[in-house]
Chain A
Amino acid sequence: MIAVLDWLDARTGYRGARRVMLDEPLPPGTGWLFTLGSLLLALILIQLLTGAFLTLYYAPTPDHAYDSVRYITSLGTGRLVRGLHHYGASFLIVAMALHMLRVIAFGSYKAPREITWLSGLALLGLVLAFSLTGYLLPWDQRAYWATVVTINISKLAPLGGELVAGVLRGGPTIGALTLVRWYSAHVIFLPAALVLLVAGHLVLMRRNGISGPVRRREGETTPFYPGQASRDVTVVLLVVAALASVAWYGVPALEAPADPADATFIPRPEWYFLGLFQLLKYFPGEWEVVGAIVVPTVAAVFLALLPWIDRGPERDPRRRKLVMALVMMGVAGVIALTTLGWRDRPLSAAAGWTMREIGGRAFVASAQCARCHVDGGMSDPLDGLLLTRGAEWIAGHIVDPDMIGPGLRDAPTIVHEREVAAMAAYVRRLSRQPYPGFAPPVETAAAVFARHCVGCHKIEGDGGTDGPDLTHAGSKHDQATLRRWIIDPEGVDPKAEMPSFGSRLTGVQLDAISQYLSSRK
């Protein structure tokens, strides 16, 4: 064994290289605060590895991106790998912020380390670009809308904002070209830049040596390995253990598939962009460019110029009060904005099942969807069906099942457009959430509502606006009045514009809908 290694060393000189890597002389007093660089290196390696392996299953097209991410998440190992990659990004951002704050507090960017500092800032920008591009890849609602916002912000850039937006989109709209473009940036261009910059950062760090404690201490330098290396490894172990447990217990979010037509979705960015997101709320109209472009640019320029603003040889933070105060204000601002952005969270509109969705279940049963959507059949059963299509596609498929697979299905069943809409709503809901089950009278009422009432009336925000909102119908009328009203509106109120439903509904249906409405207080 030794002979083989000697042979190898004689030809590659690996022992010398290893010694150069590990025997970096460290000034006395280097301690735990100097472990963050190694931690970042470890986290970046984990991102590169997990990311590379995720590409085995990911498909960067709008038709398949969501399916493939869902497939990855459905595999036990895939959920973990995606979890490490997803949460690892957050860990990386936090570790980077801490590393940067340590460098600022210790004045480590001072001569001769200005270029090291700038390369570090470039790395920060690169990591933010990674998270922005990676965010789009699952192609779910969150990804889509966050990207819409990002690209619209880029339009505000002075001089050629539209051009920038066009380049980011790869065309006039966000779509297939945007996705491939961002994917390619995320897995080819950005990683290449990252590897080069990290290498440069490390070479610079080794060339100038690490800055060490703010006050130079007497004593001999010590080699990096194994003293400081074991500190670094301890921190890496703790953080990676934390990351692994987050990935183990957490399921990385995957919302409904991207749907440009959905007006109910409330887009929110990833937490580390929440501060910027919140900032935009304070700049009305034409001042928006201040929040979107000017403030971030000023902050970036300030950071880049720090080594020249804070020029003296003094490194002790207690004697650099002005710079520390400015930086602390910046940190406090970011934390405050992020917290405000975090708390300013509107409630999601559709928490429970709507009447339309419940009503769709009855129409699905009568439309014989189960002829194909059955265990072992041509398609998967509707329960737990992994659906990625939008409402229009589903409506088209219901009206003409042959549309997506000629020769595979029976002739289309003729159904009313409102029934189609209810079925589409039901199926879309079902793919996100199992059917919770409702009392049969409620199901009957829901079917009546979805077929006859929803065109003019709203319940909990879903429906038409020609007639009154029925969300609290029961607080004004009792069941008997409601029943009479539905049978013959003009009999109750001669000025009523509502058509009569006495001849269109059965007794059971009338009982169900009037009872349901009267129960809505």
Chain B
Amino acid sequence: MTLPDNFSSGPSPGSFHRRGRRRTLVLFINTVVALIGGGLTALLSAFALRPAVSAGTRWVRAGSTADLRPNVPVPRVVTVSRMDGWYRERARTTVFLVWDGDQTVRALSATCTHLGCQVAWHPGDARFRCPCHGGVYGADGRVVSGPPPRPLDMLEARIDPTDASVRVRV
């Protein structure tokens, strides 16, 4: 479409008064657009970026002493129930319980500290081995060889009176 020659949104050669009015209107329009746009942007960003709720920890039963053997790591699957937004997740994770045969138990996470694969216990040479990149840990979780940067994670664990529980992040 064509516009008349004298038609332009640029400053027109009108009086000083008209130019002042124009400037006021432009300021008003820009303010309202900024107000509504800014408000919506702030609200929608806050909605989208919703910071993660800080995770807590919880004691979860991991079995009874009848399931354990003294001084041998026994894998136990613990189920942790937590809300993931609107979804109730029942996350299952494996921990190795090492019981001293009395009132003390240690819990090692089965997650390799290298890249997160699940390690397995090999009773033959009393080692944890990671199937992914050959990480090897001793029975106490310390790195024996391979790429893992640190020992297997320890979880808080307790026996009360015959139930073994571990403290897991939820």
Contacts and interface: CB of A to CB of B under 8 A. Distances in A.
B35 A237 contact: yes
Given A19-B8, A19-B9, A233-B28, A78 B47 contact: yes
A204 to B, nearest CB: 12
B39 interface: yes
B87 A64 contact: yes
A23 B22 contact: no
B58 A376 contact: yes
Contacts of B36: 42, 236-237, 240
A227 interface: yes
Interface string A394-407: 00000000000101
B85 to A, nearest CB: 6
Interface in A1-38: 19-20, 22-23, 25
B32 A236 contact: yes
Contacts of A227: 25
Nearest to B85: A71
Interface string A51-87: 0010011010000100110110001011011001000
A25 B4 contact: yes
B16 interface: no
B20 to A, nearest CB: 12
Contacts of B79: 378, 407-408
A432 interface: no
Interface string B14-37: 000000001001101100110110
A79 to B, nearest CB: 10
A229 interface: yes
Nearest to A42: B36
A56 B47 contact: yes
A226 B25 contact: yes
Nearest to A45: B40
A67 B87 contact: yes
Interface residues of A, number: 46
B47 A233 contact: no
Contacts of A20: 1, 3
Interface string A316-328: 0000000000000
Nearest to A53: B44
A237 B81 CA distance: 46
Nearest to A75: B50
A64 B87 CA distance: 8
A379 B81 CA distance: 7
A229 B43 CA distance: 25
B2 to A, nearest CB: 10
B28 A230 contact: yes
B35, B39, B43: which has the most chain A beta carbons within 10 Å? Answer: B43
B15 to A, nearest CB: 16
A223 B33 CA distance: 19
Given A67-B86, A236-B32, A240-B36, A226 B48 contact: no
Nearest to A222: B7
Contacts of B85: 57, 68, 71
A50 interface: yes
Given A25-B4, A223-B7, A226-B26, A68 B43 contact: no
B55 interface: no
B25 A53 contact: no
Contact of A25 (B7, B28, B48, B88): B7
A226 B43 contact: no
Given A19-B9, A49-B40, A237-B35, A207 B1 contact: yes
A382 B51 CA distance: 27
A247 to B, nearest CB: 10
B66 interface: no
A46 interface: yes
Contacts of A244: 39
A157 to B, nearest CB: 37
Contacts of A19: 8-9
A206 interface: yes
A207 B1 CA distance: 7
A433 interface: no
A221 interface: yes
Contact of A221 (B4, B9, B25, B48): B4
B89 to A, nearest CB: 12
Contact of A233 (B32, B44, B46, B87): B32
A225 interface: yes
A22, A225, A233, A376: which has the most chain B beta carbons within 10 Å? Answer: A233
Interface of A: 19-20, 22-23, 25, 42, 46, 49-50, 53, 56-57, 59, 64, 67-68, 70-71, 75, 77-78, 80-81, 84, 206-207, 221, 223, 225-227, 229-230, 233-234, 236-237, 240, 244, 376-379, 405, 407-408
27 contacts: A19-B8, A20-B1, A42-B36, A49-B40, A56-B47, A64-B86, A70-B86, A77-B43, A80-B43, A81-B47, A206-B1, A221-B4, A221-B7, A223-B9, A225-B29, A226-B25, A229-B29, A230-B28, A233-B29, A233-B32, A234-B32, A237-B32, A237-B36, A379-B81, A379-B88, A405-B90, A408-B79
Please name the 8 residue pairs, one residue from A and one from B, whose CB atoms are nearest each other, closest first. Answer: A71-B86, A226-B25, A67-B86, A77-B47, A230-B25, A68-B86, A233-B32, A77-B46
Given A23-B9, A67-B86, A223-B7, 6 more contacts: A49-B44, A68-B85, A206-B1, A226-B26, A233-B32, A233-B33
